[in-house]
Structure 1
Amino acid sequence: MKLLGKLQNMRIRNKIFIIYIPLILLPLFIVIYTSNHILTSSIFGKTQKNIHDESKLITTRIAGILSNANIYINILTIEINNIYEENNITSNDPVELVKSSNQIHNAIAYHTQLFQEIDYAAFIDINSRVISPAASSGDFIGLFNKDIMKTLQKNKTTSNVWFAMQKRDYLVNDSNRPIITLGKRVVSTETGQTLGFLIVNINEDTISSIFPAISSSSKGYFIVDQQGIVVSSSHNEDVLKPAGDNELIQWMHDGDTVHKEVEIKGELNLLTQNTIEGFDWKLINQIQVSELTHDTYVNTLVIVGVGVICIGIAFLSVFFLSKLIANPIIKLTRLAKEVKRGNLDVTFKSEASDEVGILASVFDAMIEKVRELLRTIKSEQKKKREYEFNLIQSQIQPHFLYNTIETINMFIRLDMKENALKTTEALVSFYRISLSKGNNIIRIKEEIRLIESYLSIQAFRYVDYMDYTIDIDEEILEYDIPKLTLQPLVENAIYHGLKIKNSKGSLAIRGYRSNNFIIIEVHDNGVGMSASKINEILEQSSESNDKINFGVSSVSDRIKLFYGDNSGLKIESVQGDFTKITIFLEIKEMKVDE
């Protein structure tokens, strides 16, 4: 019964839609959902299995590369021990050193050819001589102060030490290529003394070359260490950079799930992880879900296309039914909505004498009555705003008068008669203009003289806080402006911008004409204000009791009262930097009593 009641209260066009559209959309959604779910589940299952098998193969090959590096460095350790024993190197005899260096050089070169994974290998003896088939052989002063050498010296055992993927400018073939390094202390098997240190480098390219080719839109395979840094990747620009956000790195550390869907840069990605044993590395595969679901997307487009055609047919049916049955009522409803939005310039003309015609005549009479009421209310509101304007002016000045008299009194007490005289003259000038024989509208030149008097008084009071400049184009001086428009803005800039600043600031007033508007800017380099504070000021009514924002909001109200909604204020501010209030006055003639 409730559903039937709701249906009866609906508009005629909606009732027609309620009947037709579900008959088409419901089967369409069921087909799309079912086919997409089945197809997507199948694609994801096959993809995850393929990635799992492929990842196992990759991790096995990487483990083989790293294992070969360990075998390589252990073989060289034995070879170097044999060379030292055969040559009985016990002194710094140059002949013995050259002979042994050549033998070690040849051993490294020979085994490097056998182990193609090795990019660079070097033996550093205890005299800092670097022996390597690479160009970086010779004596290197300060080599033992490098981080890698310090770590190997601290390691008192003969165990192999792996160093993180990095770029460095020593003991490498190319300082621009990332490498992973294996180091080892070489100890004499006879005496137990340290003979030197072996350094073996594997290029990152050697590891990433194992990864399968990838499409341009997916990241493919990459390896991440425990710190979340990319160790190896098919994308060279990603190496040695963070793998992603904290959520992604936490998932890698937890290892709770092998597969995870994560949104990265607005795209949903399927991530798969596998552990590379012995290194605490994670082999990650990242592929965009949109690639996996491309076929699903095509299937959806076909079904949606058919659905759109069906919906189009339904819309045509609704249109013809509405035209035959409900058009007059729908038109009346549309006009009523326009009235609700505030548009009263509408009429419903109907030549019919039936029920619709009666509704039309009643509707038009009602609209005319509303227009008449609104004209009356608008006239009364304008009078009320004028009363408010007079109240605003009376609230602006008393505190200024009190503070200025107090300043004059202070100057007299300090025997600063010249300052007291100038302040008194400025005060007289300020009130002479502000009174203006009771006029609410004055020339801009008079408003500028008023603000000059005000600023000269404030400059005496706040000599340590501010400097000021006034730059007004002559072409706008004869235009009209509501009296005391600038004073509240300048007062706000001084008290809430410059005075609470830790250093001396400046205030600049600039006026000019732009097209059909007069622009006046009040700019200070004080403490600024937040965006929320700006909104609070602009949205606040002049009827508010908040004295901090009262002045600025009252100016905004007065401008709109005298100039209309095309004029007003714009506030720009950066906290700790500046505040600029711009006045826009649409140029129009207003009566000024001379």
Structure 2
Amino acid sequence: MAKRIRMLPSRNMSTRLALYLFIMNSFILIVSSAAGYKFTSTVIKKNTAYYAEHYIGSMNNELNFYFRDVDLMTASLFYMSKNLFSGLDNYTRRLELGEDLDGLRNGRDYIEDILVLNNDLQAAGTMPIVMDQLLRADIYRRVMGSDGELVVSPIGYPTFVQDPSKANRPVLFAGRKIISESNRIEGIIIVTLPAERITDIVKKGEKRYDERLFLVDRHGILMEPASIGELPHDGEEMLKEAGGELPSFTRYGHMIVTGNNRQTQPLNIVGIIPEKALLKDAAAILNLQLVMNFALLVIGMTLALVLAYRFLRPVVRLAHFMRTVGNQQLVPYQTRGNKDEIGYLILSFNRMIRRLKRSFRRIHDEREKQKKAELRALQAQINPHFIYNTLNNVRWLARMGQSESIFDILTSMNIILVSAFQLEKPIITIEEELKHLDAYLAIQTMIHPGKFDVVYDLEESIRSGPIARMSLQPLVENAIFHGVLPKNEPGQIRIKGWVELDHVILQVADSGVGTVKDASRDDTRSEMREHVGMRNVDKRIKLYFGNQYGVNWSSERNVGTTVTVSLPIKESFLRGNDA
């Protein structure tokens, strides 16, 4: 008994119940953890973005305080002195302008030097320069390519300064092209700022989230070349996208923070924070939550499995017995008296078994009766049609006084009728069916001499195969009366048979007039009689052998008609009957 009720875990009801609960709770756990992680991540990112925006915004405000002053100073120099760029070929004039510019520089400790250059490449400023070096400098090219706005150039060395102590000290370059009200270029002004004064603003002591700060211009170009190696993958694309309407955004797995609109300032500080580092706290919280929830889930599912097996064990036994019954035979379930819901279920099952047994017997008997009645009706439909045609021909022979022909016809007709009315044996061999067909063809040959000839082409192996009685005669009759005779010239009827896969194929082909009519349409009485015979044979074959067998036909006008009969081979038919 223990062996009988033993079941595989995948089939055990209690195991499946516990498994379903485990999957359901696991799904809820995963969804809730994912939602919690997303919520926590969103809050952390929002808070970080909020503080980073204000922090970097304050640094940008400090940075741009210098550049607003530089911007104002470079723009106002020309308007305060209309002859700013004139007379620079005079040494005295250059000294005076240099002293004025030196006074401006001394009042601003964040300015290193100021240089004025006119269109004739005559310069004056707070330091002597090498003109060839200046013309090759990046700041000169940027200023000349601008439209008069303040531009900056990356931190570097002022190689155009003659003083070696200054030429070897890194600075940040700023400058602008001076354009008069008449849209005439008057000259350029270049200002250098100590690099450490700018980079000190960017430097930050503690880095909680591995954040990195970069100094860029309004086009996203790094102003501190040494920082290029610190850029993450796709960092240059991030810097170019920074400075839009959003003070912060996420791209390429990083949070990019500017704190303000970079397009309004010549220089800006951009912060890049890796999201992985940003969310490490959220990931730690998630991992702890998952471990605790999974431990509780395992404990809960273990208890659920024990309880489920305790209460569902009778149901499991009944289910196993029901599978056995379904695979073998209908027998009632024998068990001890259970007076709970399980006992009521067993009682209902046993009642159902008894009702099913009675129903199956009744259905089987009714099906057999129905099948026999339908087969008799179909057989009866064939017999009167054949008898009517034959007697009609005998009547005309009798009028013509051909008594010997009438005797031969009636002899053959007797053979056919004896076979046709043996309803208790509806299945015969193909060999027997061909003998009855020969008797029918003997009648038709006598009635229609010289009108047609019949050719047999059958494999010997199929002659012992099964066929429904009187199946070929209606098909050959159609070939004679609806195919060959209407052609008004001699024709041929070919009867072929062969084995194809697991089917026996019989084919009746004539060289008659053919047709293009659809067999499903009742166009004429002649065609109705022709199709009734084929439908009758098709229905009887399907009733005997199954819907995979039956009759198909094809026809072509003035070429002929081919009727194909599909039958089981002898072995497969016997196996089907045994089953």
TM range (shorter): 0.3 to 0.5
Which structure would you say has the larger RCO, counting Cα contacts within 8 Å and 6 or more residues apart?
2
TM-score by length of 1: 0.38
- Structure ID, larger Rg: 2
